[in-house]
Structure 1
Amino acid sequence: MIICGIDEAGRGPIIGPMVIAGVSFKKEVLKDLITLGVRDSKTLSPNKREELFSKIKTLSEAYYIIKISSSEIDNAIFSGLKLTKLEAKYIAEIIKKIYAEIYYVDSPLNNPNAFLKILNNLINSKINIVCEIKADEKYVQVSAASILAKVERDNEIKKLYKKYGYFGSGYPSDERTINFLKDLLSKGNIPEEVRKSWKTYKKLIATYRNQTLK
Structure 2
Amino acid sequence: MICGVDEAGKGSVLGPMVIAAVGCMQMDDLTALGVADSKKLTKDSRERLNASIREQFPYSIVIRTAEDIDTLRQTMTMNEIVARAHAEALDALSCTEAYVDACDVNEKRYGETVRSFSTSDTTIIARHKADALYSPVSAASIVAKVERDHIITELAQIHGTIGSGYPSDTVTIAYLQEYISTHKRPPVIARSSWETVKQMMHRKNQCSLLDF
TM-score, structure 2 normalization:
0.93
Question: 5+ unaligned residues in a row in structure 2: which ranges?
Answer: none
Q: 1:17 to 1:124 in 2, by over 3 A?
A: closer
* Structure 1 counterpart SS, 2:86: helix
Residue 125 of structure 1: how far off its partner (Å)? 5.6
Q: Report the identity percentage.
A: 37
Q: CA deviation at 1:94?
A: 2.1
Q: 2:163 & 2:115 partners in 1: Cα distance?
A: 37
Checking the alignment, whether the CA contact within 8 Å between 2:101 and 2:131 is kept in structure 1 is yes
The number of aligned residues is 209
Alignment deviations for residues 122-172 of structure 1 (CA, whole Å, 9 cap, x no partner): 236642111101100101110000000001100100011101212221111
In the other structure, the counterpart of 2:48 is 51
Tell me the distance in 1 between the aligned counterparts of 2:49 and 2:120.
33
1:194 alignment partner, SS class = coil
Query: How far apart, CA to CA, are the structure 2 residues paired with 1:129 and 1:205?
Result: 40
In 1, Cα distance between the equivalents of 2:125 and 2:75? 28
Can you list the C-alpha shifts for 1:86-110, whole angstroms capped at 9, x where unaligned?
2222222222221222100011111
Inter-partner Cα distance in structure 2 for 1:25 and 1:81: 31
Residue 21 of structure 1 pairs with residue 16 of structure 2: no
Q: Which residue of 1 aligns with 2:157?
A: 162
Q: Secondary structure at the match of 1:22?
A: strand
The alignment status of 1:200 with 2:206, answered yes or no, reads: no
User: Following the alignment from structure 1 to structure 2, what is the Cα–Cα distance between the partners of residues 101 and 125?
Assistant: 9
Give 5+ residue unaligned stretches, structure 1: none
Which of 176, 179, 186 is the equivalent residue of 1:184?
Answer: 179
Give distance in 2, aligned partners of 1:35 and 1:123: 30
Q: Which residue of structure 2 aligns with residue 34 of structure 1?
A: 31
User: Is residue 25–residue 59 contact of structure 1 (8 Å, CA) maintained in 2?
Assistant: no
Residue 100 (structure 2) aligns with: 105
Task: Report Cα offsets for 1:2-48 as digits up to 9, x if no partner.
Answer: 21000000000000000000010120xx4353343210001111111
So what's the TM-score if we normalise by structure 1? 0.92
